[in-house]
Amino acid sequence: MNLIRLTLLVVFATAALQADPIERANALQQARDFLKLAPQAQKDAAQKLSAREAEALKTQIIALRAKQNPDLLSLDYVITQLSTISALEVAQSRLNSLLWTIVLTFVLLVGFLAYVLYDQRRTLAALSARAQTPLPPPISTPVPRTKARPAPRKSKR
């Protein structure tokens, strides 16, 4: 437990030392102002932040509160791990839903292709059976009339 605290303290200390002193002072002041807001105003302000700004604000708030409570660093680590686990569970459930969708689509496609092949074989069998049976004699069809009628024949009486 002490090793985790020491590691987190070193990480936060190096991050704080790398920042410009003016920027660090501005960031600490923003964190203090954020903590002074009412809870509903904090929620509204947090929703307007980008992911990078939110992470920076979180780091500054932890740096402010770590002086008062050294256990806060380990608490932040635990909370981060728990939120990561819950995010992984949500992602896993989405992947499971996607997998079921893909499997259902595949089953429907295979079913459709099986039906097409069955119907095609049935049609080919019907056509080959029809080709093997003899055709009925042709029915005499009337001769179509043309525009010019031939002259009537004279009978021999």
Domain extent listing, the chain: 8-70
- At residue 56, does pLDDT exceed 70? yes
Average pLDDT over residues 77-99: 90
CA separation for the pair 10, 33 (Å, rounded): 26
The span from the CA of 98 to the CA of 104, in Å, is 10
pLDDT at 58 over 90: no
User: Rounded mean pLDDT of 132-148?
Assistant: 71
More confident residue, 17 or 110: 110
Q: Which residue has the higher pLDDT, 77 or 148?
A: 77
| Mean pLDDT rounded to a whole number for the chain | 80
Half-sphere exposure of residue 96: CA atoms within 13 angstroms, side-chain side = 6
Condensed to tens digits (0 to 9), the pLDDT of residues 89-106 reads 999 999 999 999 999 999
Task: List the alpha helices (DSSP H) in the chain.
Answer: 2-18, 21-36, 39-48, 51-66, 72-132
Q: What pLDDT was estimated at residue 75?
A: 78
**Is residue 128 scored above 60 in pLDDT?**
yes
| pLDDT at site 69 | 80
Contacts 24+ apart (CB under 8 A), 72-75: 73/4, 73/5, 73/8, 73/9, 73/12, 74/1, 74/4, 74/5, 74/8
Residue 157 confidence (pLDDT) above 70: no
Confidence of residue 2 (pLDDT cuts 50, 70, 90): low
What pLDDT, on a 0 to 100 scale, did the predictor assign at position 23?
Answer: 66
Percentage of the chain surpassing pLDDT 70?
73
So what's the pLDDT on residue 3? 63
Q: 60: burial class by Cβ within 10 Å (0-12, 13-18, 19+)? A: buried
Of 107, 109, 129, 111, nearest in space to 119 by CA:
111
